[in-house]
Amino acid sequence: MDNSETKTTINVKGMTCGHCAQAVEEAALSVDGVSQATVDLGKGQATISGSGFDLDTVIQAISEAGYAASVGE
């Protein structure tokens, strides 16, 4: 069983305002398994939580929304 809730922080470049943050959150939430997406505009990060989501798919969805997403420090 893989029901555990996971939380991952993604670096997102190119967000400049609340609209950008909302677009990134909506893109992340459109991915299966994502239950919550919280954007920190100041840090340029998005925190994604949920269970069983594919991180690559989340990154791709955010990229398709027009923002460069990556994982890692």
Q: Does 19 contact Cu ion by CB under 5 A?
A: yes
Q: How far is the CB of 55 from Cu ion (least distance, A)?
A: 24
Q: How far is the CB of 37 from Cu ion (least distance, A)?
A: 16
Q: Does 20 contact Cu ion by CB under 5 A?
A: yes
Position 17, amino acid: C
Count of residues that interact with Cu ion, criterion CB under 5 A? 4
Site for Cu ion, rule CB under 5 A:
16-17, 19-20
